[in-house]
Structure 1
Amino acid sequence: MRRLTGPAVLAALTLLVPPPPAGASSPAGRQAAFARAALRYGVPESVLLAVSYLESRWDAHDGLPSVSAGYGPMHLVDPSAGAMAAAAATQPAGDAGDTAHPSGDAARESVGDERAAAPRAVPPADTLHRAAELTGLAPAELRRDPSANILGGAALLADHQRRAGGRPGADPAGWYGAVARYSGATDAGTAAAFADEVYATIRSGAARVTDDGERVVLPADPAATPERGPGETGLPAAPASTAPDCPPALACEWLPAAYRRLRKGGHGNHDRYPGTRPIDYIVIHDGESPYDVMTRLVKDPTYVSWHFTLRSSDGHIAQHLRADDVGWHAGNWYFNSRSIGLEHEGYLARGGAWYTEAMYRASARLVRYLARKYDVPLDRAHILGHDNVPGATPATVQGMHEDPGPYWDWDHYFTLLGSPLTGVRGREVSLVSAAAGARPANSARSVMIKPDYAANTSFFSGCAKSGRCRRGSGTVWLHVRPSPASPLVRDIGKHPTGASTYSVYDHAGRASTGQRYAFAGRRGDWTAIWYLGQRAWFYDPAGARRSVPASGPLVTPRPGLASVKVYGRAYPEASAYPPGIPVQQPAPLQYTLPAGQFYSLGLTRRASYLHTGGFSPASHRVIAGRTRYHQIQFGHRVMFVRAEDVTVVPG
């Protein structure tokens, strides 16, 4: 596309092609399709709408399959070879990044390649062909036509109701068992959790514009209460959960990751922490693989590890590591040692297919619980995407991962977390001195990136099916000048010798929802921020703003310094290391923060390094330094500056 039209034309198209219409549905539209299907099969319309919302948020996904080979608004599953091939992974799950050791700790020697071949996905239960039998519609029509797909989903719900001995009817209360069965869960706990979320959605209501421009509304019914009885789900009860870090309301299973010595030396696939581990971050990943593949890979001691895996279709959760264990998931040992990692079933390049509402809600309930338990603030300085984690050293910057990508709906996710992204900071940054410095004459302030996800139809190359896609996303493009014809800003770490691109896998010229940056100017419909040592412009028209005013402290080089070094980890000074433990150099990255620029301060920590002396946690040591570091939003990724190099100012 870039070769055919040129970067300037491509950028102009990105901004100027209108989004899909967001008006009321036509008589033949999505809303009417739900009404017709509900009437035809005797399913309460609110139940049908709420089940579809949990499965797909009413989206059509261009006829593309989900990671578990589900299609359309009702997520009808076709486990045939062709559908499974279309949903196949593009890269291994949970890959730690381009580091010498899978833990992300550069102090460890590589143990060689002992990795077993990745397991193949197990086909899920077939619901699409059962829907074809019930409706008389062709499987191909159920896959590609949203209205037919909704008919198939209604027929399945009615079939579940009949098999359970229930009757058709307009009262949602009697459909709890059918809803639970529709989830496809194999245990009663997960099925019940899915059904509970469906009824919670009926009570609260929902409304949104779908990915193909259809406005759908589920009116709130606060009195909707399901009738539950013993064995209501019709599924076997799961064993009592032994998952140590899961809220009681979620049905989590405990599938422990492998922890054992390797034949060629070293151990895998995580580390045990001696005592209570300090946790600053929760890192959101997508696995680029099906759930069953991820949960089998994490049992491989030669592979990497993470704490939780979440299934897309029903929001089921498996825990693999205790919160005090150090997972090898982020590609940066400093962040691994201080974070909890969540892998979500999905693909970043598939336009959100399928970060389902069921998975969003289960993830949000889990993260909300973990954040309370481990005192992690619910903001974008602490709840990170894998694409926000920096490279630990200059050599690793280019290979860091981009998941969960532009189609993870951060705005919606933080609303589900109970901490909406308003732009105003809630908690003061720790360890920032009250005498940090006066407000400068040029009065620096902040903005938070916050586009309307559905209306923000940015163009990306490299998407599935056509290789190009235009649909809602949570990011904005950053240009060197306030014009769509100007190049994207450059990231010298991601592209040492080239330009930033419009690829869905390239975050170099993008900022993401919830990230806070220092305001650097306004010209016409464009707003500028400080980004990677340069002024970056994004389209931010008055009638459809992509940002909101924000507050919070900023940092700038202290007087007398032309620039300051930027780091990918907050490691101690050399004098902090005791004899026998190799000194880990802080290793400044290839970026610098110039004088006169400002960057948002997310948190402040004293330097530390977790030294793992071997397989036994008894040999581990935490090296604590005197140096204080400020975490800043420097580019798309967070990074660190030494506190002594900068001045903190109000934002």
Structure 2
Amino acid sequence: MIRHHRTAFRRAPLTAAATAAVLLSGLAGGGLAFAAPTAPTGLQEQFAAAAKEFKVPAALLLAVSYQQTRWESHQGLPSTTGNYNVMGLTQVDLAEVAARAAAEPEVDLRGDGGPAGKRGVAAAPVSPVDSPALHTLDAAARLTGRPAAELRTDTLQSIRGGAALLADYQRAAGGKPSADPADWYQAVVRFSNGGVAAAAGGEGREFADRVYGTLGAGAARTTTEGQPVRLAADPAAEAKSPAVDRGVRTEAASRGAGRTGLAAADPIECPATAACDFQPAAYAAANGDYGNYTLADRTDQDVQYIVIHDTEGGYAGSLSVFQNPANQSSAHYLLRSNDGHITQMVADKNIAWHAGNKTVNQHSIGIEHEGYALSGASWYSEQLYQSSANLTAYLANKYHVPLDREHIIGHDEVPGPTQSAVAGMHWDPGTFWDWNHYMDLVGGRPAADRGYVVGGRVVISPPFSNAYRPTVNGAPLQPANFVYLYTAPNGPLIGNGTQNASDWTDKAVAGASYVVADIQGNWTAIWYDGRKAWFWNDGSIASADNRLGQYLVTPKSSTGSIPLYGRAYPEDSAYTGAGVPVPSPNISPLDAVLPAGQSYVMLSSTPVNQSNGNDYFVSNQVNGDTYYAPNLNDVAKTVSGFQRYFAIRYNHRLAYVSINDVRLVPAATNVFTSGERVQLLTQTNNGPMSAAANYTRGVWEKYRPTAFANPAPEPGTTETDSLTYVNGQPHAVALTGGHLYTADRNVATGVWSDWYDLQTTGAAGVLPSSATEATVVTMGSTMHVLALVDGRIVEAIADYSAGTWRPWADVSAVLGQPAGALTRITAAVNGSVLHIDGIGTDGRIHVADGDYARGRWGYGDVTGAVGVLDWPLANLTTVTSGSKQYLLALLTDGRILQATADYAVGSWVPWSSVTQATGGGVYLTKLGATYTGTTLRLFGVSGDGRVYNANGDYARGSWTGWMDIGVPGVAGNGYKAKSLAVAGTN
């Protein structure tokens, strides 16, 4: 970035009147206006109507708009380059831009903290050069006969204006009206250039090629205002047009200022799918120093970050700033807004002066994006996003930079190198840069993960849409890329935080990762800036990062704080050994500290899933280093010592900690994320405990006490539990003293609710007498609670989609069973059929099938099909998969038998020995089972209270042996279980 702040849309107003004055400047004769609402499907219809009126192919009009704004109106507010509404038509007041740019303060971009004469102090940004490309909105207003204000705010008038311009440009290019989009290529080129044909350098052709690429591939999305728009793919239109393969690169002639004191020509380093040129930044003596970058010989190991900037100046003017050595500022790349053209200015091997932090400059590549100091500006052109993401993906691949938001950062995330520099650090690209969209284009936005836990990682990820529009002073409600942080739930903003866009201290930006410090309902606290900082999350604002093998940084000492650093310099002796003067100050801590007991995310340069914490500790260290190049033509001499650091996400910005001050701790993970998951609930000698496993990810949650109140009406009463998943959430039913209770677990927090009485009015209702058995199953969004009362089966149903209960019904009466007919029951669901299996007082196996789709029940004795049990029964459980039901019996001698019903063929397979298949060796007294994927998950409690797990993979026809899950590395803790309930989901 050339300047310190973009005051255009990020400064708090002095007064309401001042706000109005600023926002109205350049808007002829009108107040701050918002885009007029359209009918639910109106936007698509408006494109069709305008295309018909001006005889422009509707598909072409849609493709042009998509490449301008992705069909967004942006509420009638301008982009950073003066584009308005869905067609991105331009209206730039050059006098206003010049006045606002001139008011900017000077800043140090070299970032070495040296004296004024040796600092990169940027000059004022140069206003854009006036051209028709800055006034297409006024031209469209003349062609349509509508006021310019309408084209800024009314989507139909914007689309009409775009269509009128295309028709006018088609005539100017010598083309005729045509229904074939392929015939309009030159008109599209002129659309990008304000009606001017492409110059020798091809300006506008990159935009046109992207438009025709969109025509070929098609597009569909719903805008932030809820407007669904679709463009059907038309590969023929792209193929027949003059659109070129974007893999062809060109070196355009210079369109900026003359090349002052340029270094030898450098090769263009650019993606094959982009057209780029090289216009070198200045490298010459100036004012007793030199500028505008440092010669170096960096390799892929030296480049660790890609830093995103905006210029607050026009493309040509910004280029001239970088080509004046007196300005002592540069970036590796500059992107033009109207067509996304990429200009390289500094070879990647050299160190550009762009970040205001010498450590970050030394280890990063800087990308500047054209943008003017416009009042009310609130978005960036789609061409900038497209080209920049393409460039970033190329650079990340070339230099092995991780595709994440800890390594692809904004200038606002760069730390102040010293305490004196902190207050003056930049905050571009600002609150309205769409990080979600950008990282999607880069290919580095991780899939949202369900549920984070205290001690785990959370990623800030608010939707950049009208569903989330936080208040920002001086700007209307609109999508933004951050969440506000508070001192407590419903408390004030942290620190002296404000709602000014420029105030980064109370904001966590999209894509940033933090450690969860606390959870209270929908409020989440993260460790941020040495404190707990709270934000509201209804499930759409942040997501978990539950990848395995991640580590966090925490102070070694449990009692003392440790220092933080804004740069990663080596120890003093390293300079002496290199024959280089020691800077003063050298290793200088910031005022901020990392308090004991807090944890922060470390910027990992290696893949996760490291099984060895020591390897992780070594591989992610940052070398303490700097460079020395005091004179023109000096190639940077690297000074590196023994001091090592970790880079961390401390607040909105990054920071560094010494490896000598910290230790690494594993990040907690939530096993309730997607995958094959199993929930366990058990009564132990230490009270009720919960544990869980995610078999897809190969991770266990440790045993943890449940938070719910004990429902037992009598001390010492033995409790039995049963579990099921409803809509991905574990639900439990407890039978205590003949009474039934229910509770559920929040998958986002891992916290269980308190038990509540199931046998009350408004729930399942009162039972006629005490229950002796209970089980629970799920069918769709309904939970079916089955109980055995006086030997009869009764059922109550909770409908979670309707939020209602259906009270107890007598299933045995429907089946014609006499009272006292059953002593044990278990149940499972197959589609819309509920299977209830029971042991009768006669010791025989009884099966009842309830078809809820057809509203009928069936009942039978299957003992003849499966065989008579040869030993008394201790436990009975059942699971289903596909058309099969697996009935499992635990006998009092510890053996486990299985019988299988195949409902597709209408037959049973008799009892067979699971004990033999698992290898035995464990005497069990209780049994539980569930089915995930293709595997039957079997759990049992041994005579000494240990919980074991064996898995039968029915796709492969094999069983594992029994594993004690109470040992370290699994659920741990070794609690003695008295009961067991399990449930699984995929």
Place the TM-score, normalised by the shorter chain, in its bin. 0.7 to 0.9
* d(CA) in 2 for partners of 1:199, 1:219: 12
CA pair 411-30 structure 1, distance change in 2 beyond 3 A: same
CA contact (8 A) 2:97 2:374 kept: no
Change (3 A) 1:527 1:349: farther
Aligned partners of 2:353, 2:627: CA distance in 1, in Å?
13
Once the two structures are TM-superposed, the CA of residue 76 in structure 1 deviates from its matched residue by 2.4
CA contact (8 A) 2:418 2:566 kept: yes
Contact 2:563/2:657, CA 8 A, preserved across alignment: yes
Say whether residues 1:457 and 2:469 are aligned partners: yes
* Counterpart residue type for residue 44 of structure 1: P
Q: Are 2:510 and 1:510 equivalent residues in the alignment? A: no
Task: State how far apart, in whole Å, the 2-side matches of 1:177 and 1:3 are.
Answer: 47
> Deviation of residue 351 (structure 1)?
6.7
Choose from 215, 218, 222 the match for 2:230.
218
1:75 corresponds in structure 2 to 88
* Greater Cα offset, 159-168 or 600-609: 159-168
Match of 2:274 in 1: 250
2:295 alignment counterpart: 272
**Residues 53 and 130 of structure 1, relative CA distance in 2, 3 Å threshold:** same
Give the corresponding residue for 2:872. Answer: none
User: In the alignment, what sits opposite 1:104?
Assistant: 111
1:335 maps to 2:360: yes
Q: 1:400 aligns with which of 416, 422, 425?
A: 425
**SS of residue matched to 1:628:** strand
Q: Deviations over 1:427-447 (max 9, x none)?
A: xxxxxxxxxxxxxxx972110
Shift of 1:594: 1.2
Which residue identity is paired with 1:37? A
C-alpha displacement of 1:153: 0.5
Q: Does 1:546 align with 2:557?
A: no
Q: Is the 8 A contact 1:348 1:405 kept in 2?
A: no
1:302 aligns with 2:326: yes
- CA offset digits 1:59-78 (Å, max 9, x no partner): 33444444444333222234
Name whichever of 504-513 and 288-297 sits farther off: 288-297
Check if 1:598 corresponds to 2:599.
yes
CA distance in 2, matches of 1:222, 1:539: 44
Higher strand share: 2
Gaps of 5+ in 1: 6-20, 425-441, 462-466, 491-498
Between 551-560 and 411-420, report the one with greater CA deviation.
Answer: 551-560
Whole-Å separation in 1 of the counterparts to 2:421 and 2:104: 17
Which has the greater radius of gyration? 2
* Aligned with 1:373 (options 398, 409, 414): 398
Contact 1:177 1:232 in 2 (8 A): no
Within-5 A mapping of 1:125-204: 125=132, 126-184=135-193, 186-187=199-200, 189-204=202-217
Partners of 1:144 and 1:26 lie apart in 2 by: 15
Provide the C-alpha distance between the structure 2 equivalents of 1:58 and 1:215, rounded to a whole number of angstroms: 9
Aligned CA RMSD, in angstroms, stands at: 3.3
1:285 to 275, 295, 309: 309
What secondary structure sits across from 1:469 in the alignment? coil
* C-alpha displacement of 1:296: 1.4
Q: Deviations over 1:300-347 (max 9, x none)?
A: 111111111112221122211111121111111111111111111236
Q: Give the match's secondary structure for 2:51.
A: helix
Do the aligned partners of residues 89 and 296 (structure 1) sit closer, same or farther apart at CA in structure 2, a change above 3 Å counting? farther
Q: Is the counterpart of residue 624 in structure 1 residue 648 in structure 2?
A: no
Matches within 5 A, 1:423-572: 444-454=455-465, 455-461=467-473, 467-483=474-490, 486-490=491-495, 499-542=496-539, 544-551=540-547, 552-572=550-570
Q: 1:67 to 1:545 in 2, by over 3 A?
A: closer
* Helix, strand or coil at the partner of 2:494: coil
> Take 1:402 and 1:300, find their aligned partners in 2: how far apart are those partners?
24
Distance 2:13 2:137 in 1: 39
Instruction: Quickly say closer, same or farther: Cα 1:294–1:206, change in 2 above 3 A.
Output: same
- Deviations, residues 446-482 of structure 1 (Å, cap 9, x unaligned): 1000011112201111xxxxx2321001100000111
Calculate the TM-score normalised by the size of structure 1: 0.83
Letter in 2 for 1:252: C
Question: How far apart are the structure 2 equivalents of 1:195 and 1:117?
Answer: 33
Long gaps (5+) in structure 2: 1-11, 17-33, 255-265, 605-620, 668-986
2:690 maps to which residue? none
SS of equivalent residue, structure 1 residue 103: coil
- Matched with 1:639 is 655
Q: How many correspondences in the alignment?
A: 590
Cα deviations by residue, 1:487-520 (Å, 9 ceiling, x for unpaired)? 1112xxxxxxxx1111011110000111110011
Separation of aligned partners in 2, 1:130 and 1:3: 35
The answer on whether the counterparts of 1:348 and 1:403 sit within 8 Å (CA) in structure 2 is: no
Over 3 Å counting, the alpha-carbon distance change for 1:347 and 1:635 in structure 2 is farther
Secondary structure of 2:470's aligned partner: strand
- Deviation string for 1:195-228 (max 9, x for gaps)? 22223333444445546x2514123416354245
Q: Helix, strand or coil: the match of 1:364?
A: helix
Distance 2:662 2:40 in 1: 60
Q: Residue in 1 aligned with 2:580? A: 581
Q: Is the 8 A contact 1:516 1:550 kept in 2?
A: no
Deviation at 1:88, TM superposition (A): 4.8
Aligned letter for 2:344? Q
Structure 1 residue 647, shift from structure 2 partner: 1.4
Contact 1:158–1:168 (8 Å) recurs in 2: yes
Measured at CA, do residues 114 and 30 of structure 1 come closer, stay the same or move farther in structure 2, by a change above 3 Å? closer
Structure 1 range deviating more: 532-541 or 349-358: 349-358
Question: 1:267 offset after TM fit, Å?
Answer: 0.8
Return the alpha-carbon distance in structure 1 between the equivalents of residues 376 and 666 of structure 2: 37
1:417 pairs, out of 411, 434, 442, with 442
The 8 Å contact of residues 38 and 44 in structure 1, kept in 2 or not, is answered as yes
What is the letter of the counterpart of residue 607 of structure 1?
G
Q: Distance in 2 between matches of 1:345 and 1:89?
A: 18
Greater helix share, 1 or 2? Answer: 1
Give me the whole-angstrom Cα distance separating, in 2, the residues matched to 1:123 and 1:219: 34
In 2, the alpha carbon distance for the partners of 1:215 and 1:145 equals 14
- Give the CA deviation at 1:626: 1.4
Aligned residues of 1:174 and 1:227 also touching (Cα < 8 A):
no
Q: Distance in 1 between matches of 2:526 and 2:413?
A: 17
The secondary structure found in structure 1 opposite 2:630 is: coil
Q: For residues 152-175 of structure 1, what are the alpha-carbon distances to aligned partners after superposition, in whole Å with 9 as ceiling and x for unaligned? A: 111111223334444434443333
Deviation, 1:388, is: 0.3
C-alpha separation between the residues in 2 aligned to 1:113 and 1:200? 41
Render the CA deviation track for 1:20-64: whole Å, top value 9, x for unaligned.
x99x95178433221211121222222212211222233334444
| Cα 1:279/1:89, change in 2 over 3 Å | farther
Give the SS at the match of 2:569: coil
Separation (CA, whole Å) in 1 of partners of 2:271 and 2:410: 22
